[in-house]
């Protein structure tokens, strides 16, 4: 290990290191499943690399589990480093001119460090592939669009990250070899290199890095930069604090419930009573001439030949060698943690009161009940029957106590120790955790192992087919375009057996039949000049080689052409005004008469009564209470609100009862609320710092963006390998 960390933090690298993912996960305790599960969020790449000081232990547990989020993180941590380290092997002056400005192939220069086009493209590809996992079978079709969206994000994040590294170094912050060593041994990488607390060995360590085209020097320098950013963030956010009063205020705001009567007036009812004359509509049209001017958008007509990605993919074959190569490069994704199939009976213990005091009598009573159940099990009573009848974990009780398969590192420590030390088929003595007393039975066990290539071939083959199909389709489209420029699109397409389709006129927001969503194509078509040669653009179906045939400029419709639309707009505008007036009258009458129900009857409004609702609740005909209806949580019983606009309804509220949360609830949620508020303040502080830092560095010339390369990259971002 000394050999492994001896070089860290010393070298100067070109390019940006990996984007850490650890801060994008948080621990959530779940009574029903007893476990700790991880939830993902699309955290800012910069705060990710800084938050590991608070989340190392949680991340170690997560990295030992199996599931879709694990696959993203396990592959992402090293693959993103690999993508970002491409530049590390390029001489420092490549792509940079004598004036120090970004040259060809360099997207940006940050304090003298180059961020290359290739680096951004690779980081964007990693982002797009991770996002694509949620789309299943449609992922391959959407990849061009995901790439286009990810390219700008990747560029911004890599520039921001390098700016933070430069600022940390400017302030004299350092990452020592010992700190890098500690991070590898106890941080987010521990599950890779120190499974079970034991180092995998230098040869295995270097081999795992080599799978991602990384060396120990490059990788450890990247980890050192993550530590630098973490120190910088700690410095910037160290002043953040949350007062007890703020915690209490936020708790009361989130947990106070109200019950109220509410009178509803519907815009649709008012609209049904409106019957405008032709003269009224004509006058409305005349008064809104500006809004109708050129409201018929520009339309264009093209002919195109389509390289269908699905057809290409259907003809693509994947060899055994290709499968093996991918499997070898992504071996870490297919590691399965040690697992146990577990059943349990839970008898809960009382929560501490507002002062943190524990009800010892309640704890003793829970222990007595659990001991009695254990005696019954040892006497021969069926475990499943007792679990269904007495277990206070509702999620597993109905399953006879079964929690199914759990990964090591997913449960609270006391439970895990018993679950992974008991022999198969054995029942534990009482196990006490923060939830209460458990009786645990181990039903089965699986050792940690690496899935074989045969087990994962079905996952790998579609990925490789999609990648190869993209390359083939792109090449076919490029060949077709080149031939079309010399022979004409019709002749070129005919020679390749590809049909040419002539579209109707369409606007930029239309979907062209047969092409599906095609934002890049629309951008290309509507920026092309008339009589331009053929061009190519990606669509959700593949690649379209197109030629612009005609342009219809925007125009203003006559009254007769849009009479129906004018009438609908007239009714909507007029009914909205009348609804506002009538709701105001309803509120005024109700307040004057101190009786909402009487005022509602006089004005034809419908009165309803809500259940007790929280501030994030929903109420029929009002919808979310986070909008104007949130005023209900500032009112006292008997108060009547002003007019509330709830979309197509007008509402007036009269509060019946306010239900304050209990002190026990506050004691249970206080720490969580404090952590959430503090995290929000820290993010706000650091986000503002990042924004100001980048602005200052751009103004001072320490950040220089190659706008030509950025423009080319973002337009071509949806084309693999572009």
If asked whether residues 627 and 676 sit together in one domain, one would say: no
CATH at 592: 3.10.50
When pLDDT is averaged across residues 618-643 and rounded to a whole number, the result is 95
- Is 138 or 110 the better-scoring residue by pLDDT? 110
| Per-residue pLDDT at 379 | 94
Total tally of structural domains belonging to the chain: 4
Report helix angle 707-716 to 117-132, nearest 10.
Answer: 30
If asked whether residues 548 and 625 sit together in one domain, one would say: no
Average pLDDT, the chain: 83
Is 590 within 8 Å of 599 (Cβ atoms)? Answer: yes
If asked whether residues 632 and 618 sit together in one domain, one would say: yes
| Per-residue pLDDT at 715 | 67
If asked whether residues 349 and 421 sit together in one domain, one would say: yes
When pLDDT is averaged across residues 360-386 and rounded to a whole number, the result is 94
State yes or no: pLDDT of 64 exceeds 70.
no
| Per-residue pLDDT at 1 | 41
CA gap 481, 461 in Å, rounded: 30
If asked whether residues 85 and 228 sit together in one domain, one would say: yes
If asked whether residues 491 and 593 sit together in one domain, one would say: no
If asked whether residues 160 and 11 sit together in one domain, one would say: yes
pLDDT in tens, 606-625: 999 999 999 999 999 999 99
| Per-residue pLDDT at 45 | 37
Could you tell me if residue 581 is inside a domain?
A: yes
When pLDDT is averaged across residues 102-110 and rounded to a whole number, the result is 87
When pLDDT is averaged across residues 690-712 and rounded to a whole number, the result is 91
Pick from 552, 571, 601: which residue ends a domain? 552
pLDDT in tens, 527-555: 999 999 999 999 888 999 999 999 999 99
| Per-residue pLDDT at 283 | 96
State yes or no: pLDDT of 301 exceeds 50.
yes
When pLDDT is averaged across residues 553-564 and rounded to a whole number, the result is 94
Report helix angle 52-63 to 68-84, nearest 10.
Answer: 120
| Per-residue pLDDT at 124 | 87
Could you tell me if residue 161 is inside a domain?
A: yes
- Is 514 or 92 the better-scoring residue by pLDDT? 514
Could you tell me if residue 680 is inside a domain?
A: yes
Q: Is the pTM of this model over 0.85?
A: no
When pLDDT is averaged across residues 502-515 and rounded to a whole number, the result is 90
231: tokens are 């120190």
With bands split at pLDDT 50, 70 and 90, how would you rate the model's confidence at 138? low
Could you tell me if residue 637 is inside a domain?
A: yes
Pick from 431, 447, 463: which residue ends a domain? 447
When pLDDT is averaged across residues 137-147 and rounded to a whole number, the result is 72
If asked whether residues 545 and 431 sit together in one domain, one would say: no
State yes or no: pLDDT of 43 exceeds 70.
no
Which range (38-47, 156-165, 339-348, 391-400) has the least confidence? 38-47
| Per-residue pLDDT at 36 | 27
pLDDT in tens, 435-477: 899 999 999 998 888 989 999 999 999 999 989 999 999 999 9
Residue 92, domain extent: 2-241+671-716
State yes or no: pLDDT of 405 exceeds 70.
yes
Could you tell me if residue 290 is inside a domain?
A: no
Report helix angle 278-287 to 563-593, nearest 10.
Answer: 90
- Rounded to 5°, the CA angle 106-112-118 comes to 25
155: tokens are 């560029």
| Per-residue pLDDT at 409 | 75
State yes or no: pLDDT of 155 exceeds 60.
yes
Which range (65-69, 214-218, 326-330) has the least confidence? 65-69
Q: 636 Cβ partners below 8 Å, 6+ apart?
A: 655, 658
- Is 160 or 64 the better-scoring residue by pLDDT? 160
If asked whether residues 529 and 620 sit together in one domain, one would say: no
If asked whether residues 516 and 617 sit together in one domain, one would say: no
If asked whether residues 544 and 564 sit together in one domain, one would say: no
Pick from 386, 413, 447: which residue ends a domain? 447
CA gap 369, 366 in Å, rounded: 5
- Find, among 52, 394, 346, 450, the residue nearest to 227 by Cα: 52
With bands split at pLDDT 50, 70 and 90, how would you rate the model's confidence at 718? very low
621: tokens are 């005909």
If asked whether residues 140 and 107 sit together in one domain, one would say: yes
State yes or no: pLDDT of 37 exceeds 90.
no
Could you tell me if residue 252 is inside a domain?
A: no
Could you tell me if residue 134 is inside a domain?
A: yes
CATH at 342: 3.10.50.40
CA gap 185, 180 in Å, rounded: 9
Q: Phi first, then psi: what are they for 61, rounded to 5°?
A: -60, -45
Could you tell me if residue 664 is inside a domain?
A: no
pLDDT in tens, 328-351: 988 888 888 888 999 999 999 988
State yes or no: pLDDT of 250 exceeds 80.
yes
């Amino acid at each position: 290990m000394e050999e492994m960390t001896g070089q860290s933090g010393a070298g100067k690298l070109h390019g940006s290191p990996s984007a850490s993912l650890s801060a994008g996960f948080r621990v959530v305790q779940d009574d029903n499943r007893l476990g700790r599960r991880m939830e993902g969020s699309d955290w800012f790449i910069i705060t990710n690399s800084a938050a590991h000081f608070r989340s190392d232990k949680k991340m170690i547990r997560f990295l030992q589990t199996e599931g879709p989020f694990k696959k993203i993180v396990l592959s992402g941590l090293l693959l993103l480093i690999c993508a970002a380290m491409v530049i590390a092997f390029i001489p420092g002056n490549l792509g940079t001119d004598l004036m120090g400005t970004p040259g060809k192939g360099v997207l940006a220069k940050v304090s003298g460090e180059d961020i290359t086009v290739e680096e951004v493209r690779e980081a964007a590809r990693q982002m797009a592939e991770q996002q694509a996992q949620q789309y299943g079978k449609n992922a391959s079709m959407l990849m061009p669009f995901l790439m286009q969206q990810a390219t700008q994000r990747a560029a911004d994040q890599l520039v921001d990250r390098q700016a933070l590294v430069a600022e940390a170094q400017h302030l004299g912050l350092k990452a020592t070899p010992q700190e890098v060593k500690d991070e590898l041994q106890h941080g987010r990488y521990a599950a890779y290199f120190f499974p079970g607390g034991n180092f995998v060995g230098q040869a295995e360590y270097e081999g795992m890095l080599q799978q991602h085209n990384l060396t120990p020097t490059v990788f450890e320098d990247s980890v050192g930069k993550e530590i630098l950013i973490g120190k910088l963030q700690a410095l910037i956010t160290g002043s953040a604090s949350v007062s007890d009063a703020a915690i209490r205020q936020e708790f009361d705001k989130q947990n106070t419930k109200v019950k109220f009567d509410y009178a509803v007036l519907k815009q649709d009812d008012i609209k049904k009573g409106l019957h405008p004359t032709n003269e009224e509509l004509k006058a409305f049209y005349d008064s809104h001439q500006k809004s109708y001017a050129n409201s018929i958008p520009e339309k264009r007509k093209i002919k195109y030949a389509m390289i269908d990605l699905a057809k290409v993919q259907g003809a693509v074959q994947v060899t055994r060698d290709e499968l093996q190569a991918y499997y070898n490069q992504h071996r870490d994704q297919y590691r399965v943690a040690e697992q146990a199939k577990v059943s349990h009976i839970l008898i809960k213990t009382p929560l501490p009161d507002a002062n943190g005091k524990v009800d010892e009598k309640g704890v003793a009573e829970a222990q007595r009940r659990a001991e009695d159940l254990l005696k019954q099990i040892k006497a021969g009573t069926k475990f499943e029957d007792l679990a269904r009848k007495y277990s206070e974990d509702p999620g597993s009780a109905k399953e006879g106590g079964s929690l199914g398969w759990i990964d090591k590192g997913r449960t609270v420590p006391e439970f895990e120790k018993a679950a992974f030390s008991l022999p198969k088929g054995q029942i534990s003595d009482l196990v006490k955790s923060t939830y209460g007393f458990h009786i645990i039975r181990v039903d089965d066990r699986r050792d940690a192992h690496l899935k074989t290539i045969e087990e994962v071939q079905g996952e790998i083959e579609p990925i490789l087919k999609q990648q190869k199909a993209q390359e083939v389709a792109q090449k076919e489209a490029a060949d077709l375009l080149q031939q079309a420029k010399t022979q004409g699109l019709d002749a070129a397409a005919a020679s390749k057996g590809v049909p040419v389709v002539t579209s109707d006129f369409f606007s930029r927001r239309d979907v062209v039949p047969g092409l599906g969503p095609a934002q890049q194509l629309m951008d290309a078509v509507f920026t092309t000049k008339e009589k331009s040669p053929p061009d190519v653009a990606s669509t959700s179906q593949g690649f379209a080689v197109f030629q612009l045939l005609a342009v219809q400029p925007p125009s203003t419709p006559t009254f007769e052409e849009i009479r129906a639309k004018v009438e609908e707009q007239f009714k909507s505008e007029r009914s909205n005004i009348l609804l506002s007036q009538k709701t105001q009258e309803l509120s005024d009458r109700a307040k004057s008469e101190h009786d909402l129900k009487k005022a509602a009857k006089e004005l034809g409004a419908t009165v309803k009564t809500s259940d007790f609702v929280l501030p994030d609740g929903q109420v029929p005909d009002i919808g979310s209470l986070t909008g104007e209806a949130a005023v209900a949580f500032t009112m006292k019983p008997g108060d009547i609100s002003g007019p509330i606009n709830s979309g197509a309804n007008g509402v007036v509220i009269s509060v019946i009862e306010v239900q304050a949360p209990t002190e026990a609830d506050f004691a249970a949620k206080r720490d969580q609320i404090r952590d959430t508020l503090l995290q929000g303040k820290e993010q706000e502080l650091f986000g503002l710092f990042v924004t100001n830092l980048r602005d200052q560095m751009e103004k001072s010339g320490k950040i220089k963006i190659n706008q030509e390369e950025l423009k080319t990259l973002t337009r071509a971002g949806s084309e693999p390998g572009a």
